[in-house]
Amino acid sequence: MYRAVRGVLFGLDAEQAHYLVMGAWSRLMRPAPIRELAQRALRVDDPRLGQKLWGVHFANPVGLAAGFDKDARWVNALGALGFGHVEVGTVTALAQAGNPRPRLFRLTEDEALLNRMGFNNGGSQAVARRLEELRVEPVLGINIGKSKVTPLDRAREDYATTLRELHRFADYLVVNVSSPNTPGLRSLQEKAPLRELLGSLQALNASLSEGTRRTPLLVKMAPDLGEGAIDDVLEVVAEVGIDGVVATNTTISRQGLRAPGVEELGAGGVSGRPLARRSREVIGYIYRRTRGEVPIVGVGGIFDAEDALEALEAGASLVQVWTGFVYEGPLMVRRMQLELLELLERRGYASVSEAVGASHRR
């Protein structure tokens, strides 16, 4: 059924279709009893799928990646679909419109998306007001980034503003230094500026968490880094005590794409199937280098349970979907969980936790 609906939606501008669908779904899910019915129908309750990370219980490993709900408008409506966690953002200190439209494109031949959204969001204060009025139901991650107008030498203060505004709402926080759509942002992945940024944010995080559980602070990494650059990031992660790595963001590579006219679409990051192999490589490399001691959230090219299990076996503790969700539809999460249970049993794993990093133990 979704294939037929998708055919109609794919006839619309990609960003227009996104807001049309989510606007309708969020209105439908507004009454709590309706959300509860949806949750009962769509979630899969099985202890083999659950695990605890950073003191947080994740009912299943399948989450929604940042970028889908930039302003935390649809948190509970998305949670009703059965996601183990929902990551909102990227949120910046200042409200910003993002890059000119069109800025989101489907590469259907590649089962991919190209986006240059540019952190379009209402700013940290607006998101805080929205979350203040909401009883959040799913595990909530909040992804934070740098405002476009803020110079790189003021990045620390900019990120800190957002962290202060949103810290109290997050089950975990992600520092995004890897989007290709904010000029200069990826330079913050270099060792010296990254150490300065993450060190200051972790200190602030500890201060804001005083007297309570310290909120886990993660960093999101680009897939286009070489091994030396990844090593630099991981050295900073160890020095500063960062709690995990999200691997990976979108790629600027166009290698192997089959969709016609890709170059004419202009700049942007590519997500979906073309990212799958590189994402797994980065996950595996991080897992080996950290000896499995740093939890990894695996993102990139995950469309089904096979993809999810590959990421888990490579070393991810959690996985996230975005492009796959667009292509596969709202029943994707339930289907992935049911199929993942079958795969775990078939491959002799007692639980998701047992599958994490298994490819390195064979």
Mean pLDDT by 10 residues, the chain (362 residues): 87 96 97 97 96 97 98 98 98 98 98 98 98 98 98 96 98 96 90 96 95 93 95 97 97 94 94 98 98 98 98 98 97 97 98 97 78
212 is in an annotated binding site: no
Angle at 29 between CA 330 and CA 19, to 5 degrees: 60
pLDDT number for residue 181? 86
Q: Rounded distance, CA 257 to CA 259, Å? A: 6
Angle at 286 between CA 281 and CA 291, to 5 degrees: 130
Let me know: does 224 contact 274? Beta carbons within 8 Å. Answer: no
325 is in an annotated binding site: no
66 is in an annotated binding site: yes
Q: What is the largest CA-CA distance in the chain?
A: 55
Given the residues 124, 147, 178, 179, the one annotated as active site: 179
Q: Rounded distance, CA 263 to CA 131, Å? A: 39
How would you list the strands of the sheet with 104-107, edge to edge? 104-107, 112-115, 269-272
298 is in an annotated binding site: no
76 is in an annotated binding site: no
CATH of domain 2-360: 3.20.20.70
Give catalytic status of residue 179 as yes or no: yes
272 is in an annotated binding site: yes
Per-residue tokens: 227: 């091994």
pLDDT number for residue 307? 98
pLDDT number for residue 361? 85
Record the pTM. 0.97
116 is in an annotated binding site: yes
pLDDT number for residue 51? 97
Residues 6+ apart with CB under 8 A from 119: 70, 90, 92, 96, 98, 145, 146, 147, 148, 179, 181, 182
Strands 51-53 and 56-58: antiparallel
Q: Which of 361, 212, 190, 197 is nearest to 288 (CA)?
A: 361
pLDDT number for residue 212? 85
121 is in an annotated binding site: no
SS3 217: strand
* Long-range contacts of the stretch 336-339 (C-beta < 8 A, 24+): 336/62, 336/304, 336/305, 336/308, 337/44, 337/46, 337/49, 337/60, 337/62, 337/82, 337/305, 338/44, 338/305, 339/304, 339/305, 339/306
* CB atoms near residue 342 (< 10 Å): 10
pLDDT number for residue 57? 98
pLDDT number for residue 166? 98
105 is in an annotated binding site: no
pLDDT number for residue 213? 85
Q: Rounded distance, CA 63 to CA 141, Å? A: 10
